[in-house]
Amino acid sequence: MVKKTIPVLDMSCAVCAGNVERTVAGLEGVASASVNFSANTITVEYDPKTIDLRRMQQAVRNAGYDLVIDETKEVEEEERKRYKALRRRLVAAWVAAVPVMVLSMTDMGMTACGRWLLAALTAIVLIYSGREFYVRAWKMLCRRSANMDTLVALSTASAWLFSLFLIVFPDFSNAHGLGGHVYFDSAAMIAAFV
C-alpha cells in the first residue's frame, strides 16, 4: 500500500469535498481516502498494483473536479493559469453585468429593445463567465447530487429564462398582474458576484 497526498482543484464547498472523497474511496484498490477541504488536498492509501493515479484522476474529473498528479506540473503553475482565466471571466462578467444593472433601473430597460439588450448582455455573463457553474451543476445532476454550483445554476437560469419568457410573451405578464418586471439584473449580478 502507498499513501499519498494529492492536490484537488475545483472544490468550492464541503459537499464537493464529500463527493471527491466518495469518488476516490469507491475505486477498486483504494483502502482509504480523506479530503482536507481547507488545504484542497486528498490523502489516499491505495494499492499501486490495482489502481494508478491516472485512473483516480479520471474518476475525479468525471465527478467534476481535478487532481494534480503530474509530478512535473507545479500546482502553483496550474493555479496561476486558472486564476488568470478566472480573472478574465470575472472582468467580462462585470463589464456586461454593470450595464445590465444600470439599464434595468432606467426607462430604457422597460422598452422592448432595451429588454432584448438586457437579455443579450445577461446571456454573455451566464454563458461566458458562468459556464463552469452550469457544467459542474450538470455533472452533479448526472450523479444525483447537488452542491453550490447547482444552486447558482438554477437561480440564474430560472431568472434569465423567466425574464426571456416575459419579453417573448408580454401579454402573459399583463394578464397575471406581474407588471412587466424582468429579472435579468438578478441573474447577471448573481453570476458576477459568485
Residues 126-159: tens digit of each pLDDT:
999 999 889 889 988 888 888 888 999 999 999 9
Whole-model pTM: value is 0.72
Each residue of 78-121: pLDDT tens digit?
778 888 999 999 999 999 999 999 999 988 778 888 999 999 99
C-alpha separations of 139 from 45, 65, 143, 174 in Å: 26, 10, 6, 38
3-state secondary structure of 68: coil
Query: Is 90 exceeded by the pLDDT of residue 44?
Result: yes
State the pLDDT confidence band at 73, using cuts at 50, 70 and 90.
low
Judge contact between 40 and 8, C-beta under 8 A: yes
